[in-house]
Amino acid sequence: MGARYFQDFDWLILLPAVLLIALGLLTLYSIDHVPAEFRGDFQPTKTGAFERQLIWALAGLVVMTIACLVPFTYYDGMAVIFYCVGLVLLVAVLFAPAVKGARRWIDIGGFNLQPSEFMKIAVIFMLARFLAEKRNRPDSFRVLIIGAAIAFVPFLLVMKEPDLGTSLVFLALLFPVMYWRGIDESLLILFMTPLLSALLTVFSATAAERGSYPFLLLLFFIVILIAAYRRRRDLFRSISLVGLNVGVMLLVPMVWNRLEPYQQKRILTFLRPESDILGSGWQVYQSKLAIGSGGFMGKKFLHGTHKLLAFLPERHSDFIYSVLSEEFGFLGALVLLVLFSIIIIRGLYLATKVKNRFASIVAVGICSYFAFHAIVNIGMTTGLIPVTGLPLPFMSYGGSSMVVSCFLVGVLLNFSRRFYEY
């Protein structure tokens, strides 16, 4: 049995993860160090991030090993407990002291625990457990409502912290696993289109301020009407599709007024980045300059000038991709994308291969986690997505993110060793 486990072990999931950890540590080391020839002009800014992240990386590898060895049936059995404990921690963090206007961490003996990171694991397991039950038919509207509630409860709690970027992860986990389970596509459209309506409503509001007309919102509404008409045989869903989107278009302005000022500013800066280059648009502007200045081969390890001049305030965490792109160039950035792509593709392949339905759904949820984090983080550093503060797995500085990412890779490796188990 042990020989078979070793034979089935998916090295194409493990090796890219280890290489990403090593690449992240190299970048953090570079941020804290100045090459010898520049030390007369620049003083090293030691933060200790590299040393602490190295400890977290080692801890993450231990967690990965444990996650790989534990029979995955335990994850199925413990899913409800994980989810309930996660909700308790999310409520508890709301009473913790605020840091920079947000409550996201619980101090436990000098260690800052971020419950929202671990809640991502709990949501994946809980959704998989619920959707894997045979009695929960994918064509049932009840199943869609309960599944949505599993994701929306932590979404609302994390929004309260407030942490807009992390809260969106729970929605990003919901739709792929629902689709994979076989939920009716029309039901998914019913839930997904209001999100587009919300985004286009905000965009149209800023367009109106500039004296433009909200053509995109009007066009999208026409598409909604056409889709509803084509599905007119199912009158309830057609009416719901139009009603939900109209409701969102009316409610978004009220929700917008309840967002924190910095959240509004981030969204507005994304829509009009040129409006505040020296203010809220500074990070994205400098990030794009750093990425562009790297060229094809980069400026060499330790020689990134935007890093040396500290033009990127969050270069250890949110904008670590910009530092990597400046020093390793397009080639280095491409390697990073390829490594993430390998993990995601192998994870999806594993979802089709594994015999256990719970494991299959979890694999899709894990792939959604890595895909969403990578797309959003890289998108915000290149100015394609609003700055949300979402870390880049294995790369960005942070213990909670590192341990969670390693754990999820360990779960995938667990499935690869036991793919034949029901």
| Domain definitions of the chain by residue range | 2-417
Cβ atoms within 10 A of the Cβ of 212, count? Answer: 11
pLDDT digits over 167-221, tens only? 888 988 988 898 888 877 777 777 778 877 877 787 676 555 555 556 777 888 8
* Mean pLDDT computed over 261-283: 62
Q: Is 232 a residue whose pLDDT tops 70?
A: yes
Kindly report the backbone phi and psi dihedral angles of residue 106, in degrees, each rounded to the nearest multiple of 5, phi listed first: -115, 125
Q: Is 393 a residue whose pLDDT tops 50?
A: yes
pLDDT of residue 367: 95
pLDDT of residue 369: 95
* Mean pLDDT computed over 219-247: 83
Question: Taking a C-beta distance cutoff of 8 angstroms, is the pair 342, 12 a contact?
Answer: yes
Ranges 46-60, 254-268, 329-343: which has the least confidence: 254-268
Q: What contacts 24+ positions apart, CB below 8 Å, involve 358-361?
A: 358/72, 358/75, 358/76, 358/128, 358/129, 358/132, 359/72, 359/128, 359/415, 359/418, 359/419, 360/180, 361/127, 361/128, 361/131, 361/132, 361/177, 361/180, 361/181
DSSP letter at 112?
Answer: E
* Mean pLDDT computed over 60-76: 91
pLDDT of residue 127: 93
Ranges 125-134, 140-149, 179-188, 198-207: which has the least confidence: 198-207
pLDDT of residue 205: 64
CA 344 to chain centre: 13
* Mean pLDDT computed over 338-351: 94
d(CA 368, CA 55): 27
Q: Binning pLDDT at 50, 70 and 90, where does residue 1 land?
A: very low
Kindly report the backbone phi and psi dihedral angles of residue 214, in degrees, each rounded to the nearest multiple of 5, phi listed first: -75, 65
Ranges 14-18, 62-66, 164-168, 169-173: which has the least confidence: 164-168
Question: Taking a C-beta distance cutoff of 8 angstroms, is the pair 390, 169 a contact?
Answer: yes
* Mean pLDDT computed over 145-169: 86
d(CA 377, CA 390): 6
d(CA 81, CA 141): 25
d(CA 385, CA 390): 11
Terminal C-alpha separation, the chain: 16
Residue 394 burial class via C-beta count within 10 angstroms: exposed 0-12, middle 13-18, buried 19 and up: buried
Q: Is 263 a residue whose pLDDT tops 80?
A: no
Q: Is 14 a residue whose pLDDT tops 80?
A: yes
In three-state secondary structure terms, 288 is helix
d(CA 347, CA 247): 37
d(CA 131, CA 357): 9
pLDDT of residue 248: 83
pLDDT of residue 115: 86
Q: pLDDT averaged over the chain?
A: 81
pLDDT of residue 148: 85
Higher pLDDT, 42 or 150: 150
* Mean pLDDT computed over 257-261: 72
Q: Is 340 a residue whose pLDDT tops 90?
A: yes
d(CA 412, CA 14): 9
Q: Binning pLDDT at 50, 70 and 90, where does residue 403 land?
A: very high
Higher pLDDT, 248 or 384: 248
In three-state secondary structure terms, 106 is strand
pLDDT of residue 6: 57
Q: Binning pLDDT at 50, 70 and 90, where does residue 279 land?
A: low
* Mean pLDDT computed over 352-378: 93
* Mean pLDDT computed over 360-389: 87
pLDDT of residue 16: 95
Q: Is 336 a residue whose pLDDT tops 50?
A: yes
Q: Is 58 a residue whose pLDDT tops 90?
A: yes
